[in-house]
Amino acid sequence: MNGTISAADIGRGPLYKRVKSLLTQSLADGEWKPNEAIPSESRLAERFDVSIGTVRKAIDELTAERILVRQQGRGTFVAAHTQSRFLYHFYHVVDEDGIKRFPTPELLQFRRIRAEQNVATRLGLDKGARVIHARNLLRIEGYPVEVNDIYVDAEVFEGLDRDTFSNRPGTIYQLYQERFGLNIIRTSEQLRAVAVDESEANLLDIEVNAPVLQVDRIAFTYHSKPVEYRRSLVNTSRHVYQSDQEATG
Contacting residues toward its own copies, per CB under 8 A: 24, 62, 64-67, 89-90, 92, 94, 98, 185-195, 210-214, 216, 220, 222-224, 234, 236, 240-249
Sign for the pseudo-dihedral over CA of 160, 161, 162, 168:
negative
Alpha-helical runs (H) found in 65-125: 83-89, 117-123
Q: Which is nearer to its own copies, 86 or 165 (CB)?
A: 86
Q: Which is nearer to its own copies, 15 or 185 (CB)?
A: 185
Complete edge-to-edge strand list for the sheet that includes strand 75-78: 37-38, 75-78, 68-71
Indicate which of its own copies, DNA, none lies near residue 212 (CB less than 5 to 8 Å, by partner kind).
its own copies
Q: Which are the contacts of 101, defined by CB distance < 8 A and separation ≥ 6?
A: 94, 95, 140, 141
Q: Which is nearer to its own copies, 136 or 232 (CB)?
A: 232
The CB-of-223 to its own copies minimum distance in angstroms stands at 7
Q: Which is nearer to DNA, 71 or 167 (CB)?
A: 71
Residues that bind DNA (CB under 7 A): 14-17, 38, 40-43, 50-54, 56-57, 70-76
Q: Which is nearer to its own copies, 55 or 234 (CB)?
A: 234
Q: Which are the contacts of 237, defined by CB distance < 8 A and separation ≥ 6?
A: 206, 210
The CB-of-210 to its own copies minimum distance in angstroms stands at 8
The CB-of-192 to its own copies minimum distance in angstroms stands at 4
Indicate which of its own copies, DNA, none lies near residue 124 (CB less than 5 to 8 Å, by partner kind).
none
Indicate which of its own copies, DNA, none lies near residue 135 (CB less than 5 to 8 Å, by partner kind).
none
Nearest to 116 by CA among 133, 98, 96, 136: 133
CA distance 125 to 26: 25
The CB-of-49 to DNA minimum distance in angstroms stands at 7
The CB-of-186 to its own copies minimum distance in angstroms stands at 4
The CB-of-214 to its own copies minimum distance in angstroms stands at 8
CA distance 194 to 25: 41
Question: Is the CB of residue 5 less than 8 Å from the CB of residue 48?
Answer: yes
Q: Which is nearer to its own copies, 91 or 180 (CB)?
A: 91
DSSP lists the bridge partners of residue 148 as 136, 232
Question: Is the CB of residue 68 less than 8 Å from the CB of residue 38?
Answer: yes
Sign for the pseudo-dihedral over CA of 202, 204, 205, 210:
negative
Indicate which of DNA, its own copies, none lies near residue 220 (CB less than 5 to 8 Å, by partner kind).
its own copies
